[in-house]
């Protein structure tokens, strides 16, 4: 997946000319943020046991959901652009 959605919580510190330098912190991607939210929902609604190795499946499902969310978001943004 090439579309990461960009940074989830970008932060810029601007140079105001008083010795403050410009800093850009991008943090996690929007895709990672969506996957984390999806993982939270998956774990809240599935029986979790340490004896069954389902962690990898849950992680994959979380990113599949995140990718679907990004695709839907992108389509909605394109549609909104067309409506202008």
Q: Is the pLDDT of residue 84 over 60?
A: no
> What total of structural domains would you count in the chain?
1
Specify if 17 maps to a domain.
no
Domain that holds residue 63: 29-83
Tokens of 34: 């969506």
- pLDDT, position 7: 78
27 contacts 10 by C-beta, under 8 angstroms: yes
Q: Is the pLDDT of residue 70 over 90?
A: yes
Q: Is the pLDDT of residue 50 over 60?
A: no
Q: Is the pLDDT of residue 64 over 80?
A: yes
pTM as predicted: 0.65
Count of CB atoms situated within 10 Å of the CB of 83: 6
Q: How confident is the model at residue 23 (pLDDT cuts 50, 70, 90)?
A: low
- pLDDT, position 55: 73
Specify if 63 maps to a domain.
yes
């Amino acid at each position: 997946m090439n579309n990461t959605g960009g940074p989830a919580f970008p932060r810029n510190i601007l140079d105001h000319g008083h010795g403050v330098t410009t800093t850009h912190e991008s943090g996690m991607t929007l895709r990672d943020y969506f996957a984390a939210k999806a993982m939270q929902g998956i774990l809240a609604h599935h029986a979790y046991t340490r004896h069954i190795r389902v962690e990898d499946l849950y992680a994959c499902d979380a990113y599949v959901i995140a990718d679907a969310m990004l695709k839907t978001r992108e389509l909605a943004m394109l549609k909104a652009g067309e409506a202008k």
